[in-house]
Chain A
Amino acid sequence: GSADQKVKSKLKNPFLKVEDRRCRYRPFYLQLSSFPVVNYSIPRPCSPFDVEKKNAHGQKQIHNKQRNPTNSDREKRPNHVPPKHKRRKGYCECCMKKYDDLHAHVESEQHQAFAKSSQYQVVDDIISKFSCDFLELRENTPKVKRRKCNV
């Protein structure tokens, strides 16, 4: 498995390469099609690094995505599914497990076991020291009952 035959490749300009000075870790690098430039012509308040899409012939088009990420944004990122239909991928710190669907994971047996375990004592210890300023609302009425919320 280790590096028996050495394969070397040259980074294409422009690039950026970052290494640990003691060479203990893998270098990481970035090869860009062009190095960033401060673009003063982009109107305020947009980033001077806002993406200007250049097509092959150098025509430019400013994309102001301040508020609306466009679809083309998403197309460029295969992992990104439009939010509404996206399952929420992530990592569960409780189960130490990656999941592809948050909802499915938190309902899984393993997670539910954790959820009901005494692991949360550390949280409850803190909660138990709070006093609640809020009064309990009586069900179905906006009236206020003079009772502390957690007693």
Chain B
Amino acid sequence: MLSKCWGQWTWPVNIMKDHRLETTLYKIKQLNARLVMEAIHLDEQSPLNAGNSFKKHESNKKGALTDIEKLYQAVPQLANVFRIKGKIGEGTFSSVYLAIGHVRGGREEKVALKHLIPTSHPIRIAAELQCLIIAGGQDNVMGVKYCFRKNDHVVIVMPYLEHESFSDILDSLSFEEARNYMFNLLKALKRIHHFGIVHRDVKPSNFLYNRQLQQFALVDFGLAQGTPETKVELLKVIPSETQQRSSAYNRPPLTVGSQVTSPTSRQLVHQSATKTANKRLSSISQTQIKQGHKRKEDADCHSVQRSVFGEKNFNVRSSAFQARSTVKQPRIMDIPVRKLSVKKKAISVVNNGLGKKAASGTPAHLTCDCYAKDSICSICLSRRQQIAPRAGTPGFRAPEVLTKCPNQTTAIDMWSAGIIFLSLLSGRYPFYKASDDLTALAQIMTIRGSRETIQAAKTFGKSILCSKEIPAQDLKKLCERLRGKTTSFDNSAGDVQMNPSQEFALPIGIGNASDSALQASKKYTQYQKQSTHEDGGKEKKTIQKLPESKGWDRVPNSAYDLLDKLLDLSPATRITAKDALLHPFFRNVKQ
């Protein structure tokens, strides 16, 4: 088939650049498909062995090849530098291997080799590299050491950080460790948000934690998008599709503080790429896009888990956490109707803002009386589906992502950080367990209240209708109660839902926030009394175990105040990473 010389680098010359550009330009339009679709395939052995000269000879025993052998085959240069020890993670879009190389002086060094799926577009690959180069290597953001490419196979070399599995250590974390964890996560988020990077997939498996060394690393920019003023030039190319397709950004520009001071060398690194990207940007608005084929995937690919570096056991946990066993398979879209309306007017002009996109002849503007009512009809169902980025993991997606709000900002990462905090405070992981977006939204409403969720959604242009009114939970009571439960608890109790009358309105006033242990323990006693009263002593029994449990009996109210601000249903008011680090909860945190 092809007679490529192994071990030979491909270094395309800068020739035909313009021609290439045009083609790329055309193709990049499809990049967003990944964000919308998220193909399903998780944990198969990596069959990423592209066609090559080995194929002929090896085809018989191909099945017997290990993933490591396949990787050596795909990118032969690796063999000159690394001994690959094993696969340490696998996600939809990449596999990660642990390898050992030698640095000057002969010292051994462990690295993580991230092998990207060969269907990744070069611009996406380059954008991921740019994120690592520009934002990485500092403030708990993973950096990059090197990168190998052979044809469509790209391997990113990163420092290896040995790390714990979140669910393994969740039970044994002290309160102080949990506080540190959050502080360091927010530090990483502050850093990437400063550069205008929306990570989109913040979750424990993408935040490596070495408990012993107290080291942290935010990883995986494979789904990252840029804010309108991102410093990562290539990110401007990818998400611009979504922006244009869906609507313009409404949110005030991200405040990035003082001027960015990238080292000169770093600027050099992405200079040429930037040039390319700018050219693309200038002409992309005239391009037409094809959208029709994405819809099916959108319907059935909600729950793809991306866990790459962080999952030692290859997504076993995360595929479980997709909760495929929802009581009933939800129907997000009406399939027969979709067939009627979607396919034909798949083309629309990109270059416009709100409202214009459906102007291409679909009956989008036909009105019906289903709005905000418990009905649907052939008219409203014949409208085109709104396209908004929704990559990531259902249980960590912010309400504006779940409801397909096109204007998504760095605030979506803050929500995800809030979900992690919720796990830490409640001792539950995963906290939300949903295989699809609307189930996740229903679960959020169960915690944050249906009225509150509906109210917030209005602020970002969404109407939510919920057949049931659900009161918001008091976060402190919720977490203490969930944490208080032990495995020995009598399961026969069955469903327990908080009595709405016992709930207090959110948010918890910041005035109550205090790190004082005295005050906290007073409150604890109070709570204990209360719950004893409420549950006839049953609750008391389990709560009383808390004092031995590593500071969890003295969780200050400021913790729940911060949690409330991270889980702000409205993205415009949700706390930023910068402000969260200044929150009273982190007073006296050792840095």
Residues of A within 8 A of B (CB): 1-3, 5-11, 13-54, 60, 62-63, 65-70, 72-74, 76-77, 79-80, 83-84, 86, 88-96, 98-99, 102-103, 105-107, 111-112, 114-130, 132-137, 139, 144, 146, 149-150
Asked whether, in the complex, the Cβ of A93 is within 8 Å of the Cβ of B433, the reply is no
Q: Which chain A residues lie closer than 8 Å to B463 at the CB level?
A: 18-21
Q: A28-B333, A118-B16 are in contact. Are A3 and B379 (CB under 8 A)?
A: yes
- The complex places the Cα of A107 from the Cα of B54 at a distance, in Å, of 13
**What 8 A-B pairs come out closest when comparing CB atoms?**
A90-B39, A30-B438, A115-B152, A93-B121, A107-B51, A25-B386, A88-B41, A92-B119
- The complex places the Cα of A135 from the Cα of B105 at a distance, in Å, of 9
- The complex places the Cα of A30 from the Cα of B439 at a distance, in Å, of 8
Q: A11-B374, A22-B461, A112-B50 are in contact. Are A126 and B446 (CB under 8 A)?
A: no
Q: Taking the nearest CB of chain A, how far is it from the CB of B87, in angstroms?
A: 14
25 contacts across the A-B interface (CB closer than 8 A): A2-B382, A6-B368, A11-B375, A18-B463, A20-B461, A26-B383, A40-B482, A43-B485, A65-B323, A67-B313, A73-B324, A88-B41, A88-B44, A93-B120, A96-B30, A99-B119, A106-B50, A107-B55, A117-B20, A119-B24, A119-B27, A134-B103, A137-B81, A139-B79, A150-B77
- Quick one: which of A28, A36, A119 contacts B332, CB cutoff 8 A? A28
Q: Taking the nearest CB of chain B, how far is it from the CB of A23, in angstroms?
A: 6
Asked whether, in the complex, the Cβ of B327 is within 8 Å of the Cβ of A32, the reply is yes
Q: A26-B385, A70-B325 are in contact. List 12 more A-B contacts (CB 8 A).
A: A8-B378, A15-B467, A19-B380, A20-B386, A24-B383, A32-B327, A44-B487, A83-B42, A118-B15, A120-B12, A125-B276, A134-B109
Q: A40-B482, A41-B491 are in contact. Are A102 and B149 (CB under 8 A)?
A: no
- Contact segment of B184-192, B223-231, B494-502: B494-502
Asked whether, in the complex, the Cβ of A91 is within 8 Å of the Cβ of B468, the reply is no
- Quick one: which of A2, A62, A67, A107 contacts B491, CB cutoff 8 A? A62
Asked whether, in the complex, the Cβ of A3 is within 8 Å of the Cβ of B366, the reply is yes
B34 at the interface (CB under 8 A from A): yes
Closest to B83 in A: A137
Q: Taking the nearest CB of chain B, how far is it from the CB of A79, in angstroms?
A: 6
Q: Which chain A residues lie closer than 8 Å to B15 at the CB level?
A: 118
B102 at the interface (CB under 8 A from A): yes
Q: Taking the nearest CB of chain A, how far is it from the CB of B245, in angstroms?
A: 12
Q: Which chain A residues lie closer than 8 Å to B498 at the CB level?
A: 38
B398-436 interface bits toward A, Cβ cutoff 8 Å, 1 = contact, 0 = none = 000001100000000000000000000011111111101
Asked whether, in the complex, the Cβ of A6 is within 8 Å of the Cβ of B80, the reply is no
Asked whether, in the complex, the Cβ of B146 is within 8 Å of the Cβ of A130, the reply is yes
- Quick one: which of A23, A24, A89 contacts B41, CB cutoff 8 A? A89
Q: Which chain A residues lie closer than 8 Å to B490 at the CB level?
A: 41
Asked whether, in the complex, the Cβ of B104 is within 8 Å of the Cβ of A135, the reply is yes
Q: A18-B462, A26-B380 are in contact. Are A44 and B147 (CB under 8 A)?
A: no
Among A41, A98, A120, A136, chain B packs the most CB atoms within 10 A around the CB of A120
- The complex places the Cα of A21 from the Cα of B248 at a distance, in Å, of 16
Q: Which chain A residues lie closer than 8 Å to B520 at the CB level?
A: none
Q: A53-B325, A92-B119 are in contact. Are A25 and B385 (CB under 8 A)?
A: yes
B254 at the interface (CB under 8 A from A): no
Q: A90-B41, A93-B124, A106-B118 are in contact. Are A126 and B101 (CB under 8 A)?
A: no
- Quick one: which of A17, A29, A47, A67 contacts B428, CB cutoff 8 A? A47
Asked whether, in the complex, the Cβ of A37 is within 8 Å of the Cβ of B129, the reply is no
- Quick one: which of A60, A89, A124, A136 contacts B40, CB cutoff 8 A? A89
Q: Which chain A residues lie closer than 8 Å to B468 at the CB level?
A: 13-14, 35
* Chain B interface residue count, Cβ-Cβ cutoff 8 angstroms: 183
Q: Which chain A residues lie closer than 8 Å to B432 at the CB level?
A: 47, 49
B365 at the interface (CB under 8 A from A): yes
B347 at the interface (CB under 8 A from A): no
- Contact segment of B205-213, B267-275, B560-568: B267-275
- The complex places the Cα of A96 from the Cα of B120 at a distance, in Å, of 10
Q: Which chain B residues lie closer than 8 Å to A41 at the CB level?
A: 485, 489-496
B546 at the interface (CB under 8 A from A): no
Asked whether, in the complex, the Cβ of B376 is within 8 Å of the Cβ of A135, the reply is no
Closest to A61 in B: B491
Asked whether, in the complex, the Cβ of B464 is within 8 Å of the Cβ of A46, the reply is no
Q: A23-B371, A43-B486 are in contact. Are A49 and B434 (CB under 8 A)?
A: yes
B460-491 interface bits toward A, Cβ cutoff 8 Å, 1 = contact, 0 = none = 01111111101001000010011101110111
Q: Which chain A residues lie closer than 8 Å to B371 at the CB level?
A: 19, 23
- Quick one: which of B55, B462, B485 contacts A20, CB cutoff 8 A? B462
Q: A15-B374, A18-B463, A38-B473 are in contact. Are A43 and B119 (CB under 8 A)?
A: no
B589 at the interface (CB under 8 A from A): no
Q: Which chain B residues lie closer than 8 Å to A118 at the CB level?
A: 12-13, 15-17, 20
Q: Which chain B residues lie closer than 8 Å to A125 at the CB level?
A: 126, 270, 272-273, 276
Asked whether, in the complex, the Cβ of B438 is within 8 Å of the Cβ of A28, the reply is yes
B541 at the interface (CB under 8 A from A): no
Asked whether, in the complex, the Cβ of B316 is within 8 Å of the Cβ of A68, the reply is yes
Among B80, B117, B125, B367, chain A packs the most CB atoms within 10 A around the CB of B80
- Quick one: which of B11, B48, B327, B383 contacts A33, CB cutoff 8 A? B327
Asked whether, in the complex, the Cβ of A32 is within 8 Å of the Cβ of B328, the reply is yes
B82 at the interface (CB under 8 A from A): yes
Q: Which chain A residues lie closer than 8 Å to B17 at the CB level?
A: 118, 121
Asked whether, in the complex, the Cβ of B374 is within 8 Å of the Cβ of A79, the reply is no
Asked whether, in the complex, the Cβ of A40 is within 8 Å of the Cβ of B496, the reply is yes
Closest to A132 in B: B146
| Chain B residues numbered 266-325 whose CB sits less than 8 Å from any CB in chain A | 268-270, 272-273, 276-277, 293, 297, 300, 313, 316-317, 319-325
- The complex places the Cα of A83 from the Cα of B44 at a distance, in Å, of 5
- The complex places the Cα of A5 from the Cα of B77 at a distance, in Å, of 63
Among B48, B368, B428, B445, chain A packs the most CB atoms within 10 A around the CB of B428
Closest to B267 in A: A129
Asked whether, in the complex, the Cβ of A93 is within 8 Å of the Cβ of B464, the reply is no
Asked whether, in the complex, the Cβ of B466 is within 8 Å of the Cβ of A24, the reply is no
Among A48, A70, A126, chain B packs the most CB atoms within 10 A around the CB of A126
B43 at the interface (CB under 8 A from A): yes
B135 at the interface (CB under 8 A from A): no
B14 at the interface (CB under 8 A from A): yes
B339-383 interface bits toward A, Cβ cutoff 8 Å, 1 = contact, 0 = none = 011001000000000010110001111111011101111111111
Q: Which chain B residues lie closer than 8 Å to A8 at the CB level?
A: 370, 375-378
| Chain B residues numbered 42-71 whose CB sits less than 8 Å from any CB in chain A | 42-45, 47-51, 55
Q: Which chain B residues lie closer than 8 Å to A51 at the CB level?
A: 323, 325-327, 433
